[in-house]
Structures are given as structure tokens and as C-alpha cells.
């Protein structure tokens, strides 16, 4: 009887070029390139007099360090300008498909590739960004890689990889009203830790996952890297196929029929054995808010900030003490009582059209609190922005007092002018709340778009249904 295989094993085995004792050489189908992590890789190719192995497998656009307003005035600093010029020059020289800042398809790579149908099931994907795990929502084995890896993929179409283990997190239950994929991701990381997936490819399964939209699945897989996972996967189902059908770069006609037939096999066989299995009950999950400096330092919105003395493990207790000192919080404070300075709705985690619709529904007819210094809505791509504007979402946000921006990573990592100042506190739909992540000394609280929107109106953490 043939061995029952996990989804990870099926994709991995189809892409192994050479198998070694503790590592493998993996064929990479698709490579996504941005302006921050690629210049040195192209320089390496140039110095070695190498060309790209398969230029049409590469898609490039600037996203990390670009302005999200007044683009006609140019880049915000010299380094950003040099990065943009290097990307444009490298793409022209090496004949890479590049979306300029004027192209409506420009945006965050992890939003752009899926919406164009360039992320396809059963493929392998590499990108110089840790949140490449996002593409696992399509049963694509997708890795964030470093600059030397980028050069290897560009020149050889392969990636040297350690042999990874498999982790399955089965999630069952019905998400309560007002609870979203972002809350699910934070709840899982809170329960199992930021290292539960270290050295593993994390496959999400279960009734809760099957009920999620593709955009929600992308949010969940995006956050898998915050659980330490090297990649994330969700099996193909009819939701996957419905999303991909008729996308500009997806197969069509007879090619679609053949592809879809193969894609339907991309699931773990019954009885397949994982190296590690965990279970999570979604029935009682509440909206989540991070209080500390890792995504695991999370509480439900109805809870209080934990008191370090209540934490038994000495290292975890010390980490909590350090986090509270940085965040300017005291143990025992009600999460709802924490007041905010800025609001950020965007990032590769939560900047798709469903996220913007959820936030707009909350703020419609309301006004951002006077205590909020700045509230940003940054679409994930030019196409998301176009669709939101066609639906009138931009006017809802602007009328409420939000700033409506061009596509980009924006305040997620504070590389451009969208950042926090020291001591400022932000409710953010992004993926990381590390010290200084959104600006030196800035304090980040990760939340869903709905909670971020409600918090903008109330001035403190709040649920949409509680707004007057």
C-alpha cells in the first residue's frame, strides 16, 4: 500500500533536485523581488557574470521603503531613492517583470501575486521577506529567504534547504461574531508560543479553516512565521479554485481544467503522519490585542494586562517585565482602558479588500476620536485601492477622519515616513509588535481591522458594537 503523505511531503518531493543527508536542493517555481533585499543579490550576479536562469519566473515591485503619499514629489530620502533606482535598473538589465510605482498592479508583493493569479497551488515560492508564508493559503510552499539565497534562486532556480519537519494545527469550531482570522492567528500563537513551528512547515486544517475565505486564509498563513514556522500550508478546496478562476495570470481553458484536476489532489492523505500535531478550539475565541513585544504576548479585549508575578516561568516573567517597561503599561490594567495615539490599517497581513470593507463598515458615519493623532488606511495594492474607491470605501474613511494612502508596506515596519515617534502607541493590523518595529520607541498593539477601526473612533480599545 502506498505511503499516506502530508501535503508538505507531496509538494516537497515533486521539487527536490538533489537530496542530501540533512538538506536538499529544491527547485523554485516563482521568485518575488522587492527593493530592499535584492540589490546585493543582483550585484553578486553581475560580479560573477551570471544571468538569470528563468527571468519570466520573477516578479518585482517596490513595497517596503516607498512613500504612500505625494509620490509625485519623489522618494522621502536618499537611501530609498537609491533602492528604487537599483530595483528599476536591475529589472531592466536582467529582463525581470517589474511593476513601477505608476503601475496600478504595484503594491505589497504578498497581496499583488495572489490577486493576479501568480500564486498557484503546488508551486514553490521564494521572496526576500519573512511573510512569504502568506502564499501557503494556496497550498504553495513559500519561503522567506536571505540575500545570498535570493542570488542562488535568481541564478540557479534552486534553493538549498534543511530537511524540514511537518506540523499540523487542526482548528475546529465556529468563529464567534466579531472574531476574525487575525484574532485566530494571535490566539494560536498565544496558546502555543512563537517557537511552536520552529523547523517545521505548518499546515492548518479543520472545520474552522475550511470556512475561511481565501483572504482570511492569507492572513492566517501570513502570521505563521510569527509562530516560528518556515512555511505554512492550507489544502486546496473549492474556495481556493473559485478565488483563482479567471485571475489574469492563472491558467485558462484546457490548461485550467488540467491544473484544477491536479490542484484538487493537494491535501494531506487520511492517516498521513505529521512530526507534530496540535489542536485549537475556535468556539470561545474573543477579539485579541497584543500587550507586549511579541505576538504571543496577547490578551482578549475583555482581559487585563498580565501581572509578571502571576507568571511562573522565570524567563517568561522577566520577558513580561521588560515588555511592560517598554510598552509603558502596568500589570492589571484593563485592555479596554489603554488609549492610543495612532491607528494603522494595512500591511501584508490585513490590507486586502475584505479587510478594508470590515473596517469601513465600522467607521461609516462616525468620526475618529480627537485624541487620535493620525489614522491611516493603506491598501495592499493599487488594484485593491481601485476596487475600494469603486465601492466608495475611500470616502467613508476620509469622511471619518482617516488618511487614505497609496499602496505599500507603510507603517508596518516604519522604513518610510509612516512611523511612530518614541512613546507613541498604535493599534495596528500589521504582523509584528517588536520593540521599534513601527518606529524607534514606538509601541505597537496588534489587532484585527474591525478592532482597529473601532479603536480609532473610541480612542481606546473597543469593539464595533460598543460604539455609539
Q: How far apart are CA 108 and CA 35, in angstroms?
A: 11
What's the start-to-end Cα distance of the chain, in Å? 63
Q: How far apart are CA 69 and CA 378, in angstroms?
A: 10
Q: Is 465 left (phi over 0), alpha (psi -120 to 50) or beta?
A: alpha
Q: Which of 116, 160, 169, 158 is nearest to 138 (CA)?
A: 116
Q: In this structure, are strands 403-404 and 425-428 parallel, antiparallel, or unpaired?
A: unpaired
For residues 289 and 446, the answer to whether their CB atoms sit within 8 Å is yes
Find the radius of gyration of the CA atoms of the chain: 22
Provide φ and ψ at 35, rounded to 5°.
-80, -15
For residues 122 and 133, the answer to whether their CB atoms sit within 8 Å is no
Q: In this structure, are strands 231-234 and 200-205 parallel, antiparallel, or unpaired?
A: parallel
Q: Which of 48, 143, 163, 38 is nearest to 91 (CA)?
A: 38
For residues 143 and 126, the answer to whether their CB atoms sit within 8 Å is yes
Q: Does 409 count as an annotated binding residue?
A: yes
Task: Give the Cβ contact number of residue 249 at 10 Å.
Answer: 15
Q: Is 70 left (phi over 0), alpha (psi -120 to 50) or beta?
A: left
* Sequence-ordered alpha helix ranges (H) in 106-146: 109-116
DSSP codes, 180-237: -HHHHHHHHHHHH-TTTTBTEEEEEESHHHHTS-HHHHHHHHHGGGGGTBSEEEE---
Q: Does 348 count as an annotated binding residue?
A: yes
Q: How far apart are CA 72 and CA 70, in angstroms?
A: 5
As a residue count, the chain comes to 468
Give the H/E segment covering residue 452.
Answer: helix 449-458
**Residue 118 Cα distances to 54, 59, 127, 385, 428, angstroms:** 15, 9, 14, 19, 28
Angle at 361 between CA 355 and CA 363, to 5 degrees: 105
Residues making up the binding site: 348, 409, 412
Residues making up the binding site for [4Fe-4S] cluster: 348, 409, 412
Amino acid at each position: 500500500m502506498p505511503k499516506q503523505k502530508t501535503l508538505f511531503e507531496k509538494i516537497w518531493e515533486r521539487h527536490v533536485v538533489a537530496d542530501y543527508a540533512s538538506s536538499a536542493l529544491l527547485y523554485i517555481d516563482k521568485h518575488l523581488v522587492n527593493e530592499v533585499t535584492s540589490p546585493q543579490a543582483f550585484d553578486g550576479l553581475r560580479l560573477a557574470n551570471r544571468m538569470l536562469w528563468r527571468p519570466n519566473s520573477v516578479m518585482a515591485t517596490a513595497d517596503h521603503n516607498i512613500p504612500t503619499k505625494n509620490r509625485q514629489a519623489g522618494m522621502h530620502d536618499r537611501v530609498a531613492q537609491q533602492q528604487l533606482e537599483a530595483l528599476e535598473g536591475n529589472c531592466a538589465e536582467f529582463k525581470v517583470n517589474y511593476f513601477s510605482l505608476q503601475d496600478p498592479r504595484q503594491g505589497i508583493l504578498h497581496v499583488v501575486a495572489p490577486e493576479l493569479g501568480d500564486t498557484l497551488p503546488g508551486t514553490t515560492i521564494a521572496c526576500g521577506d519573512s511573510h512569504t508564508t502568506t502564499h501557503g493559503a494556496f497550498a504553495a510552499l513559500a519561503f522567506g529567504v536571505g540575500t545570498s539565497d535570493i542570488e542562488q534562486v535568481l541564478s540557479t532556480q534552486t534553493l538549498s534547504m534543511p530537511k524540514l519537519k511537518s506540523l499540523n494545527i487542526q482548528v475546529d469550531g465556529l468563529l464567534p461574531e466579531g472574531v476574525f482570522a487575525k484574532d485566530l492567528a494571535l490566539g494560536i500563537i498565544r496558546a502555543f508560543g512563537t517557537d511552536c513551528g520552529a523547523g517545521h512547515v505548518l499546515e492548518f486544517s479543520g472545520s474552522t479553516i475550511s470556512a475561511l475565505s481565501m483572504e482570511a486564509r492569507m492572513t492566517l498563513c501570513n502570521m505563521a512565521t510569527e509562530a516560528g514556522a518556515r512555511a505554512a500550508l492550507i489544502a486546496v478546496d473549492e474556495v481556493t479554485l473559485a478565488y483563482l478562476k479567471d485571475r489574469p495570470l492563472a491558467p485558462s481553458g484546457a490548461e485550467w481544467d488540467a491544473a484544477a484536476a491536479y490542484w484538487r489532489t493537494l491535501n494531506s492523505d487520511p492517516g498521513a503522519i505529521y512530526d507534530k500535531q496540535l489542536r485549537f478550539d475556535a468556539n470561545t475565541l474573543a477579539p485579541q490585542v497584543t500587550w507586549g513585544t511579541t505576538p504571543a504576548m496577547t490578551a482578549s479585549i475583555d482581559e487585563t494586562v498580565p501581572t509578571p508575578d502571576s507568571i511562573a516561568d522565570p524567563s517568561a516573567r522577566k520577558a513580561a517585565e521588560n515588555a511592560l517597561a517598554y510598552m509603558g503599561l502596568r500589570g492589571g490594567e484593563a485592555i479596554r482602558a489603554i488609549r492610543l495615539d495612532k491607528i494603522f490599517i494595512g500591511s501584508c497581513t490585513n490590507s486586502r479588500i475584505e479587510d478594508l470593507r470590515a473596517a469601513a463598515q465600522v467607521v461609516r458615519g462616525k468620526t475618529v476620536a480627537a485624541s487620535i493623532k493620525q489614522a491611516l488606511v493603506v491598501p495592499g495594492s493599487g488594484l485593491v485601492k481601485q476596487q475600494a474607491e469603486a465601492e466608495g470605501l475611500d470616502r467613508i474613511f476620509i469622511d471619518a477622519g482617516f488618511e487614505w494612502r497609496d499602496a505599500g508596506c507603510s507603517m508596518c515596519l516604519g522604513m518610510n515616513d509612516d512611523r511612530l515617534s518614541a512613546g507613541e502607541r498604535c493599534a495596528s493590523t500589521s504582523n509584528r509588535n517588536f520593540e521599534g518595529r513601527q518606529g524607534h520607541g514606538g509601541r505597537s498593539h496588534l489587532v484585527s481591522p474591525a478592532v482597529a477601526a473601532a479603536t480609532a473612533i473610541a480612542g481606546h480599545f473597543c469593539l464595533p458594537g460598543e460604539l455609539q
